[in-house]
């Protein structure tokens, strides 16, 4: 969430209270009388153009707050680009560089306006106001200038929270230190939380679970422990960029739990009564409880309901106002008093929505789910154990864009690893309603016999609005299969007996041999080895499918120890790597059920560390010069059935580093995401042009017929550098070469307007 309320009088709203710069009128105006050399003894020299004094005061405040060692030479350069702040540490001084457009993000222009208003002769009053800079400059400053130690120290000092358990305490060996990027992300979230909210959160400790290790609740990505007032985060919360943007939503969700337990029972009951009713001391969803929820997970309990909507109030405000207006109103009145949030498509970016009828209402069923569905399972009269499955939902309605396909599951009641996925197709009926229909055949070689339960129906429209219908009360159905429900036998792995030995490099690819002290068995499916890269503050994983024909498995006979060969990309910098955890997946057979076993490696295991030597000291990744992006309207028929397209041209940096995968996110006038993937080897291929020695990536984003009228924002790009894979080597599943560029964090606005199916105002 990027807050764009840049400068706000604290009498109205106080954002970023932990890290913003608060000044009285006198303090602000008195900065005009100071010379550059009087700001701090830590600054040796300021080079380049003269910035506004309040900007320097902010820099000094950050340096002091985060105990960053000097002395400093501050450079204000003429460089214009996505990089706003960078640094160079020498033995005698610490150089900090600001781009030419960084002061714009730091509101040099706005500061001058305020100066004219509050410092003019005759101006009265001594009101305190808050200068709250856009998060991107603060983020880049902290990431490029601050150290992990200074970030952790300041975070603990400002919040009073511990960031790891003490030696000897419960779970100490299961935890590790937060990475620099993760500490910056935590600080970013605190910048978005008002002081009144922060004070009411019951938190004493935030901890980072070890790389690759599952939490005590395996399906969870983070957990709030009420009695300990503690939050623990896993990889899934902080490193899974597919699931969330650097874990921001998950962090806020868990802080929502902490805030919930800091409230009175009256507060909790009042919120719960919006979608729940208390029956014999237990909360149950109201009959209309399928509406008014921001996510399926929020329907789990009143506590999860609140945590999801607390996170949504900050992280997805437009979606919350659309899907759960009553809960949005409650949070605005009773929690975030007089504080409103916006994303890049609303008032922050000063976007005016021209469409008179935006599709913001989710679809609905005319009756409840149990009255609208049909599920027929017919076993064939032979020995095949195959069943024909027919599923149908009737009387679905939508006001504008129409019903979208839906995916629903049938899950075994005894073992959730046995599932049947039902992909439905929408059909419009003569009366204007929609049906969702699917007809499939079961695969008994992947199923165990038993009762299967229908899951929640996610009913969505083509604009992305979703309403969830639970399957409570729908009878289970019997489906046959050949697989077993018996748990497989397991042998405990003695971590002390795991061995790691170097392998001779092949074609420049460094390798390691891992020997596990367990016998190879016929039901083994795969082993996932999770590796830490401490020098890169990242992780990567090897996935070895245990087929003796696959080159990663060196074991020759059933019963022998499992020996796995791992090779790493030669594009990596030379580094120490450490085995952090491993997961053994066993496949379902007629004798035993499918199973997964997770083994976490303790902290003090130096025998499971090794080095890989590639001869490189840096990791060269493809990047985009998004500040030089060009947009062009292209009218031609496309795969979406429309005729309107946007052509995007962006200079490529390090274009020869490897192949690319780029996902573009465009935000529609009503806040919906439009995604487009460009892959050098994919169907949606862009092409690279060489113009005057600069390489440009050019690709087209297609739009559907009759797109919404209004302003569209190009929001972000997610880039993955795809390095060549050696056809005969089991290389790691590279998770280190991905980055996400959020334009508004870099102070870049790229947008276009659609009016009556025509593109205008390409900025």
Average of pLDDT values for 276-300?
80
The phi, psi pair for 138, rounded to 5°, reads: -60, -45
What confidence tens digit (pLDDT) does each residue in 436-471 have?
Answer: 999 999 999 999 999 999 999 999 887 777 888 988
Residue 674 pLDDT exceeds 90: no
What confidence tens digit (pLDDT) does each residue in 484-503 have?
Answer: 999 888 778 889 999 999 99
Nearest to 409 by CA among 372, 440, 378: 440
Distance CA 298, CA 272 (A): 12
pTM of the complete model:
0.65
Residues 6+ apart with CB under 8 A from 558: 519, 520, 521, 522
Nearest to 32 by CA among 128, 133, 116: 116
What confidence tens digit (pLDDT) does each residue in 538-579 have?
Answer: 788 888 887 655 678 888 788 888 999 999 988 888 989 999
Is residue 576 helix, strand or coil?
Answer: strand
What's the token pair of residue 670?
């009503």
Residue 307 pLDDT exceeds 90: yes
What's the token pair of residue 559?
């019963």
pLDDT band at 618 (very low <50, low <70, confident <90, very high): confident
| 386 contacts 444 by C-beta, under 8 angstroms | yes
Residue whose structure tokens are 């150290």: 147
By DSSP bridging, strand 524-533 and strand 509-519 are unpaired
Of 378-387, 405-414, 668-677, the one with minimum mean pLDDT is 668-677
Residue 391 pLDDT exceeds 90: yes
Q: Which residue has the higher pLDDT, 249 or 680?
A: 249
Q: Which residue has the higher pLDDT, 364 or 121?
A: 364
pLDDT band at 296 (very low <50, low <70, confident <90, very high): confident
What is the percent of the chain with per-residue pLDDT over 70, rounded to a whole number? 79
Amino acid 136: pLDDT = 56
DSSP tag of 489: P
Residue 35 pLDDT exceeds 60: no
What's the token pair of residue 75?
């450079």
Distance CA 187, CA 469 (A): 37
Amino acid 33: pLDDT = 45
Amino acid 449: pLDDT = 96
Average of pLDDT values for 372-399?
93
Nearest to 749 by CA among 660, 673, 686, 667: 667
User: Which span out of 80-84, 315-319, 566-570, 668-672 was modeled with the highest average pLDDT?
Assistant: 566-570
- Mean pLDDT, the chain, integer: 79
Q: Which residue has the higher pLDDT, 702 or 462?
A: 702
Residue 140 pLDDT exceeds 90: no
Amino acid 284: pLDDT = 86
Amino acid 79: pLDDT = 66
Distance CA 675, CA 344 (A): 16
Average of pLDDT values for 413-438?
92
Residue whose structure tokens are 């959020």: 742
Distance CA 236, CA 212 (A): 9
Q: Which residue has the higher pLDDT, 5 or 340?
A: 340
DSSP secondary structure string, 266-309? HHHHHHHTTTEEEETTEEEE-TTTTSS-SSSGGGS-HHHHHHHH
Is residue 591 helix, strand or coil?
Answer: coil
| 304 contacts 298 by C-beta, under 8 angstroms | yes
Q: Which residue has the higher pLDDT, 505 or 25?
A: 505
Amino acid 352: pLDDT = 26
What is the percent of the chain with per-residue pLDDT over 90, rounded to a whole number? 25
pLDDT band at 181 (very low <50, low <70, confident <90, very high): confident
Residues 6+ apart with CB under 8 A from 265: none
Distance CA 439, CA 459 (A): 18
Of 258-267, 302-311, 592-601, the one with minimum mean pLDDT is 592-601
pLDDT band at 474 (very low <50, low <70, confident <90, very high): very high
Distance CA 581, CA 211 (A): 7
Residue 534 pLDDT exceeds 90: no
């Amino acid at each position: 969430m990027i807050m764009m309320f840049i400068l706000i009088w604290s009498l109205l709203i106080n954002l970023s209270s932990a890290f913003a710069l608060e000044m009285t009128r006198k303090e602000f105006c008195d900065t005009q009388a100071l010379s550059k050399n009087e700001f701090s003894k830590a600054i040796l020299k300021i080079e380049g153009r003269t910035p506004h004094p309040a900007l320097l005061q902010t820099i000094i405040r950050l340096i002091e707050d985060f105990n960053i060692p000097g002395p400093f030479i501050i450079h204000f350069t003429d460089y214009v680009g996505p990089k706003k702040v960078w640094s160079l540490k020498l033995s005698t001084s610490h150089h900090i560089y600001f781009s030419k457009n960084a002061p714009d993000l730091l509101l040099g222009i706005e500061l001058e306006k305020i100066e004219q208003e509050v410092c003019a002769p005759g101006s009265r009053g001594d009101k305190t106001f808050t200068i709250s800079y856009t998060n991107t400059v603060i983020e880049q400053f902290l990431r490029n200038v601050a150290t992990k130690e200074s970030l952790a120290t300041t975070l603990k000092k400002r919040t009073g929270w511990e960031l790891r358990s003490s030696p000897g305490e419960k779970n100490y060996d299961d935890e590790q230190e937060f990475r620099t990027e993760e500490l910056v992300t935590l600080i970013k979230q605190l910048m978005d939380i008002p002081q009144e909210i922060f004070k009411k959160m019951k938190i004493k400790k935030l901890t980072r679970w070890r790389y690759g290790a599952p939490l005590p609740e395996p399906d969870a990505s983070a957990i709030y422990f009420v009695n300990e007032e503690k939050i623990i985060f896993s990889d899934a919360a902080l490193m899974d960029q597919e699931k969330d943007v650097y874990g921001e939503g998950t962090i806020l969700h868990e802080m929502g739990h902490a805030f919930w337990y800091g409230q009175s029972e009256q507060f909790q009951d009042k919120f719960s009564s919006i979608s729940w009713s208390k029956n014999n001391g237990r909360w149950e969803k109201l009959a209309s409880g399928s509406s008014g929820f921001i996510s399926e997970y929020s329907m789990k309990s009143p506590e999860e309901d609140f945590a999801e909507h607390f996170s949504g109030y900050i992280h997805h405000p437009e979606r919350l106002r659309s899907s759960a207006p009553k809960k949005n109103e409650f949070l605005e009145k009773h929690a975030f008093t007089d504080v409103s949030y916006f994303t890049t498509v609303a008032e922050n970016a000063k976007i005016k929505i021209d469409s008179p009828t935006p599709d913001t209402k989710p679809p609905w069923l005319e009756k409840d789910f149990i009255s609208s569905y049909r599920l027929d399972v017919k076993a064939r009269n032979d020995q095949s154990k195959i069943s024909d499955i027919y599923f149908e939902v009737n009387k679905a309605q939508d006001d504008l864009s129409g019903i979208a396909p839906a995916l629903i599951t049938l899950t075994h009641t005894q073992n959730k690893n046995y599932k049947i996925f039902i992909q439905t197709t929408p059909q419009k009926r003569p009366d204007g309603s929609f049906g969702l229909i699917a007809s499939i055949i079961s695969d008994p070689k992947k199923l165990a016999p038993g009762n299967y339960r229908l899951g929640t129906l996610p009913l969505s429209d083509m604009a992305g609005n979703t309403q969830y219908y639970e399957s409570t009360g729908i009878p289970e159905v019997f489906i046959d299969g050949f697989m077993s429900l018996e748990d497989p036998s397991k042998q405990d792995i003695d971590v002390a007996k795991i061995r790691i030995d170097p392998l001779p490099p092949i074609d420049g690819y460094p390798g390691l041999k891992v020997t596990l002290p367990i016998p190879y068995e016929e039901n083994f499916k795969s082993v996932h080895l999770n590796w830490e890269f401490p020098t890169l503050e990242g992780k990567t994983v090897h996935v070895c499918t245990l087929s003796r024909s696959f080159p990663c498995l060196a074991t020759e006979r059933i019963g022998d120890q499992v020996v796995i060969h791992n090779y790493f990309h030669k594009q990596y910098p030379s580094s120490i790597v450490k085995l952090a955890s491993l997961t053994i997946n066993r496949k379902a057979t007629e004798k035993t059920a499918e199973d997964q076993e997770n083994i976490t490696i303790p902290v003090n295991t130096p025998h499971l560390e090794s080095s890989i030597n590639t001869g490189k000291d840096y990791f060269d990744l493809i990047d985009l010069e998004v500040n030089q992006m060009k947009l062009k309207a292209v009218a031609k028929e496309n795969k979406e059935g429309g005729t309107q397209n946007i052509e995007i041209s962006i200079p490529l940096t390090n274009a020869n580093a490897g192949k690319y995968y780029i996902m573009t996110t465009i935000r529609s006038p009503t806040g919906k995401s439009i995604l487009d993937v460009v892959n050098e080897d994919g169907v949606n291929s862009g092409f690279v042009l060489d113009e005057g020695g600069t390489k440009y990536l050019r690709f087209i984003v297609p739009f559907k017929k009759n797109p919404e009228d209004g302003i569209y924002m190009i929001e972000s790009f997610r880039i993955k550098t795809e390095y060549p894979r050696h056809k005969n080597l089991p290389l790691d599943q590279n998770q280190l070469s991905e980055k996400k560029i959020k334009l508004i964090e870099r102070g870049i606005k790229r947008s276009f307007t659609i009016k009556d199916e025509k593109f205008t105002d390409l900025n």
